[in-house]
Amino acid sequence: MPVADTKTILSNFASTIPATYLGQDRVGYLLENIEKLNSNESLALRALFNKFLTGMIERDASDIEIGGHGNNSYVWLRIFGNKERVKEYPQFSTDESAIMIINLLNANQRKYLSLTKSLDFSYTYHYERKNTYVRFRANAYFDLDTLALNMRSINLSVRSIDSYGFHPNVLKSLSHSYIKFGLTLVTGITGSGKSSTLDAIIDAHNRTDPAHIVIIAAPVEFVHQSNTALIRHREVGRDVLSFKDGVTQALRQDPDIIVIGEMRDPDTIIAALEVTDTGHKVFSTLHTSSAVESIDRIVAEVHPNEQERIRNRLADVLVAIVSQKLVPSLDGKRVLAKEVLIVTPSVKAAIKNNNTSEIYMMINQGSTSGMITMEQDLKRLYLSKRISLENAISYANNKTVIQQILSA
């Protein structure tokens, strides 16, 4: 169907919103009445949306933004780290954008969005040029009483764990074959590639380890096909009610490895530590920018009366932390910079004694064990002419340290 005809469907349906409805009531009306679109109209809107996703893929964009006050009627893409409005795409009013977004949702998702004002979900469509299905991670939310959508592309393939340049000792720590239990964290800000790193770790086990892997995620992104390992995917909100419930229930599902998409709250953190303590290997993520910050964040998340107990339990079960950033590279793309902590007896003692400030120096001096600070890795990338001096300094956690080691 021509774009002009699809725009007519949107404008006609938007015109049915009563003039007395303002703000979020307009979105509420659309949530309750979207099924009044006939099947041909609904399919036409979805086809237009999929056309935008095709353009996103062919521009190598990681994210698409549709709807909301902030979009100023444009569709936006993130291309190699930069947000750009796509001027060749049609412009849409906030009501028209809301209709397109709501048309993607089922009845349960619409009800959840109406109640909570935010919805995480996954979306799959058929990319005809490569005759394959592409998955996206999505979040629908409100922006000044208008409905907005972010959708992130999920890679069609998994990056090999060997391509990360981890020290052999780090690869051993990550491997269930080498260490049967313990907690490993992958940390970083949103968009730093944490999910891709987790998928690389899962894929490495899937190739060689006859284990049972249970993945609990919100939403499930890359779908692994069981190979040597048996892999279960449990999406929060669809297959299980919460991360905590997924972790607790996993104990009755005979797992060897449990992957927790994100440790979002104290209940999930405590559940993750407890399930690790029972002899399972657990991988999870945190929104932190360094190894030390990750340890401090976990302890700070729980009630002060519980902090000493959690600190001791964390010291006993923690195996490794990988903190990562995607840094703009000189070729106009992005390159991974990482900090790696391996939990040695000295690190374990520092956590138990609440001396986490000492851990950075342990990482700094732990290269023979496979450890590296973010500043050391940024220096490596700069000296290998992969990133600029400005970005090496800009992306460092400690500006003083990076300047010192760059001038050494």
Which residues are registered as beta bridge partners of 126?
133
226 and 98 inside one domain? no
User: At 276, is the pLDDT very low, low, confident or very high (cuts 50, 70, 90)?
Assistant: very high
Half-sphere exposure of 379 (CA within 13 A, CB side): 17
- pLDDT, position 260: 95
- The span from the CA of 150 to the CA of 141, in Å, is 8
Q: Is the peptide bond before 219 cis (omega within 30 degrees of 0)?
A: yes
Could you give the 3-state DSSP secondary structure of residue 332? Answer: coil
pLDDT over 80 (residue 1): no
The DSSP secondary structure of 241-265, one letter per residue, reads: S-HHHHHHHHTTS--SEEEES---S
pLDDT over 90 (residue 304): yes
The DSSP secondary structure of 47-64, one letter per residue, reads: HHHHHHHHHHHHTTEEEE
Q: Are 379 and 402 in contact (CB under 8 A)?
A: yes
- pLDDT, position 380: 96
**Running DSSP on this structure, what letter comes out for residue 71?**
G
pLDDT over 80 (residue 94): yes
User: At 199, is the pLDDT very low, low, confident or very high (cuts 50, 70, 90)?
Assistant: very high
User: At 206, is the pLDDT very low, low, confident or very high (cuts 50, 70, 90)?
Assistant: very high
Host domain of residue 92: 3-153
Q: Report residue 21 CA to chain centroid gap.
A: 36
Could you give the residue ranges of the DSSP H alpha helices within 279-397?
291-301, 307-317, 345-352, 359-364, 374-383, 389-394
Q: What is the CATH number of the domain that holds 332?
A: 3.40.50.300
The mean pLDDT of 208-233, rounded to a whole number, is 93
394 and 285 inside one domain? yes
78 and 221 inside one domain? no
Q: What is the CATH number of the domain that holds 54?
A: 3.30.450.90
User: At 220, is the pLDDT very low, low, confident or very high (cuts 50, 70, 90)?
Assistant: confident
Of 131, 153, 175, the residue at which a domain comes to its end is 153
47 and 109 inside one domain? yes
Of 153, 180, 203, the residue at which a domain comes to its end is 153
The mean pLDDT of 6-34, rounded to a whole number, is 95
181 and 113 inside one domain? no
Average pLDDT, the chain: 93
pLDDT over 90 (residue 191): no
pLDDT cut 70: percent of the chain above it: 100
Could you give the 3-state DSSP secondary structure of residue 407? Answer: helix
The mean pLDDT of 71-95, rounded to a whole number, is 93
Which tokens sit at 312? 């001791």
122 and 181 inside one domain? no
How many domains, the chain?
2
pLDDT over 90 (residue 63): yes
261 and 315 inside one domain? yes
The mean pLDDT of 342-369, rounded to a whole number, is 96
pLDDT over 90 (residue 54): yes
pLDDT over 80 (residue 408): no
Of 153, 169, 184, the residue at which a domain comes to its end is 153
199 and 216 inside one domain? yes
Q: Are 224 and 202 in contact (CB under 8 A)?
A: yes
pLDDT over 80 (residue 2): no
Q: How does pLDDT run across 284-294, given as a tens digit for each residue?
A: 999 999 999 99
Q: 32 — alpha (psi -120 to 50), left (phi > 0) or beta?
A: alpha
149 and 223 inside one domain? no
Could you give the residue ranges of the DSSP H alpha helices within 160-193?
168-174
Please list, residue by residue across 233-269, b when 16 or more beta carbons sit within 10 angstroms of its beta carbon and e when fewer do: bbbbeeebebbbbbbeebeeeebbbbbbbbbbebbbb
pLDDT over 80 (residue 156): no
- pLDDT, position 333: 87
**Running DSSP on this structure, what letter comes out for residue 144?**
T
- pLDDT, position 129: 87
The mean pLDDT of 356-376, rounded to a whole number, is 96
Q: How does pLDDT run across 99-154, given as a tens digit for each residue?
A: 999 999 999 899 999 999 999 888 999 988 888 888 898 999 999 999 999 999 88
117 and 179 inside one domain? no
- pLDDT, position 190: 84
103 and 208 inside one domain? no
Residue with tokens 């700070």: 300
Could you give the 3-state DSSP secondary structure of residue 156? Answer: coil
- pLDDT, position 236: 86
The mean pLDDT of 211-240, rounded to a whole number, is 92
Residue with tokens 């190699």: 80
Q: Which residues contact 292 (CB under 8 A, 6 or more apart)?
A: 356, 357, 359, 360
140 and 193 inside one domain? no
User: At 407, is the pLDDT very low, low, confident or very high (cuts 50, 70, 90)?
Assistant: confident
- The span from the CA of 166 to the CA of 394, in Å, is 23
